[in-house]
Structure 1
Amino acid sequence: MLERDFVGHARTVPLPRWPDGSLVAVNVVVNVEEGAEAAWPDGEGNDSWGEYALPIDPAIRDLGTEGHYEFGSRVGIWRLVRLFERFDVPVTFGVSARALERNPPFAAWLRRSGHDVLGHGYRWAEVSAMTEEQERDDLEHAMRVLPELVGRPVRGWYVRSFPSERTRRLAAAHPDLTYDSDAVNDELPYWTEVDGAPWLVVPYSKVYNDTRYFLAPTYATPRHFAETLIGAAGFLLEEAHDGAGARLMTVGLHPRWSGQAARATAVRDFLAWVAGQPEVTLVHRGQVADWWTEHASP
């Protein structure tokens, strides 16, 4: 059974600043899931994470929700790409491998771009509903497909919603993976132990995440999302100035949601704010993992 840690870094300051001199590092993670979700044509029923939460009998095809996912891959991802190119942002794309297989133009762009890639399963499915063998097979399938599609190694892993008790052990057993991002129990990276060896955790966030458009308390407008992100980054900067040390902020986006024109304004406004803060830097997750490994080793 996994042990719980209620202490974490406590009042220690693992790093006074990030190696590039910044006080706050912001990592934008784009969850590329469209095409990997459960869908009737794949014999998997329907997935409820669209623009509405009406339960549809799995025996009946839910064209409405399918359309919301297709918007993400057809339109939303490119709208976000244009914003990232406009602000010259290094981004982490958390990719479900089947989604990338089904969107060759985006796969080709991602391969050329050099952006960071984080493994997000082959299918976008709840691993807690799988057997250990099924979860291992899904991880290994993704880790065969993703490096071939993106043309570079994939070193990090996270799953849909929340991990199972075995997820970290399965990730640590894969020879190419060096960290996981399933934890939401901290902001800074930290070291833990898996089967007697040190293992790096770079936490994710369910709070600075556009899922809050749909999960209570919801954002009534994109302005509320932008204000939340700017408020968080500003507060982290204050903490760093007061001696708390280097801070990390993770922002989670989804093409089918933040790729809608109105909601993209929140992303735009946040990136514009960050661009005006000399002590706040935009980084990808691989950089954070490398920095922590080099400067805050276990």
Structure 2
Amino acid sequence: MPEHERDLVGYGAEPPHAAWPGGARVAVSLVLNYEEGGEQNVLEGDPASEGYLHEIVGAPPVVGGRDLNVESMFAYGSRAGFWRVHRTLAAHGAPLTVYAVAQALERNPEAARAMAAAGWEVASHGRRWIDYRHVPEDGERADVARSIGTIERLVGRRPVGWYTGRTSPHTRRLVAEEGGFLYDSDDYSDDLPFYVRAAGRPHLVVPYGLDTNDFKFLLVHGFTTAEDMLAYLVDSFDALHAEGADRPRMMSVGLHCRIIGRPGRIRVLDGFLRHVARRGGAWVATREQIARHWLATHPPVR
């Protein structure tokens, strides 16, 4: 289908057999959003402070000025939260995909080096963590190129995956036109990868998840305690695991340094990885690994 045509049918009643490695029932993709330092700020020429995904839920942004409280909450993610997540994943030996905002990486190159040393996949999350609906197409194209160069310089390898989060109508086409990306994840519509047409050719989408995502701690009526999120992740995995006996599925887990990296929440990640290991039947993989598997096992029909 064309890149933005609504498809309410998808694979229907008979999705393809994913054939995950090792006969896994569920491919589990852990994603860490690294955004701290790329958010909206008047110091960057933005009209207001960041008003989204911080601990003071519902507080309006400061128009024309700085919100030092919000800035410090974001700084917690890069100063402390990132390293807590890093230690937890290292203890489990779990692979990870980072959705990295290029400007955020520039402001903490030590974190970028740690991502590379850990062997994590670093995908691009844009040059800045802003809403690209309001950015002219030429500006967004330039930001795509700048994000690639920054990540390659700091991590030692260019990104092959893309996730903006707050996309413009041009984002997917610009990513496909660039030519060096295996996939994008700006979609939430399925439990398996699928193809669309973008820039005149087949383009792989590896969908993401906002229900199995720690950002719900910062939404009204979302997660309140670690038990809330852990129970939801376990229930989601177990349901997909049961379905995967016949039709293997994929599960995304979305994390943020400044959210899951808090002491009262980090045990969600530890507890979920312990549950996955106990149940078995899971392929914990980067999104790049999932994309390469899908491209080889289920190539696009030309």
- The TM-score, its normalising length taken from structure 1, stands at 0.95
| SS class of match (2:31) | strand
**2:199 aligned partner, one-letter code:** D
Encode CA deviations 1:186-222: one digit per residue, 9 max, x unaligned: 1210011123311100001111111111224311211
Structure 1 match to 2:51: 48
Encode CA deviations 1:256-293: one digit per residue, 9 max, x unaligned: 01000001111111111111122012111011001100
Aligned equivalents of 1:56 and 1:155: distance in 2? 34
Q: Is 1:64 aligned to residue 66 of structure 2?
A: no
Q: Contact 2:26 / 2:283 at 8 angstroms: preserved in 1? A: yes
1:206 to 205, 210, 216: 210
Which range is displaced more, 108-117 or 8-17? 8-17
Structure 2 match to 1:129: 134
Encode CA deviations 1:13-72: one digit per residue, 9 max, x unaligned: 322531232110110100000001012332323101321131143222100000000000
**1:210 aligned partner, one-letter code:** D
Which range is displaced more, 137-146 or 222-231? 137-146
Q: Is 1:34 aligned to residue 39 of structure 2?
A: no
Aligned equivalents of 2:66 and 2:158: distance in 1? 37
Structure 2 match to 1:279: 281
- The TM-score, its normalising length taken from structure 2, stands at 0.94
| SS class of match (1:20) | helix
| SS class of match (2:126) | coil
Encode CA deviations 1:87-131: one digit per residue, 9 max, x unaligned: 110000000000000002111111222211111001111111111
Q: Contact 1:213 / 1:220 at 8 angstroms: preserved in 2? A: yes
Gaps of 5+ in 2: none
Aligned equivalents of 1:142 and 1:108: distance in 2? 16
Structure 2 match to 1:259: 261
Summarize the Cα distance change of 1:16–1:165 in structure 2 as closer, same or farther, 3 Å threshold.
Answer: closer
Structure 2 match to 1:116: 121
Gaps of 5+ in 1: none
Q: Contact 1:192 / 1:201 at 8 angstroms: preserved in 2? A: yes
Of all paired residues, the percent bearing the same amino acid is 35
Alignment of 1:67-78 (within 5 A): 67-78=72-83
Summarize the Cα distance change of 1:16–1:41 in structure 2 as closer, same or farther, 3 Å threshold.
Answer: closer
Structure 2 match to 1:222: 226
Q: Is 1:149 aligned to residue 154 of structure 2?
A: yes
Aligned equivalents of 1:159 and 1:16: distance in 2? 26
Structure 2 match to 1:4: 6
**Length, aligned pairs only:** 295
1:96 to 101, 115, 140: 101
**1:72 aligned partner, one-letter code:** G
Which range is displaced more, 62-71 or 178-187? 178-187
Structure 2 match to 1:177: 181
Q: Contact 1:15 / 1:296 at 8 angstroms: preserved in 2? A: no
**1:80 aligned partner, one-letter code:** V
Structure 2 match to 1:85: 90
Structure 2 match to 1:289: 291
| SS class of match (2:21) | coil
Which range is displaced more, 188-197 or 77-86? 188-197
| SS class of match (2:279) | coil
| SS class of match (2:244) | helix
| SS class of match (1:112) | helix
Aligned equivalents of 1:168 and 1:59: distance in 2? 32
**1:78 aligned partner, one-letter code:** W
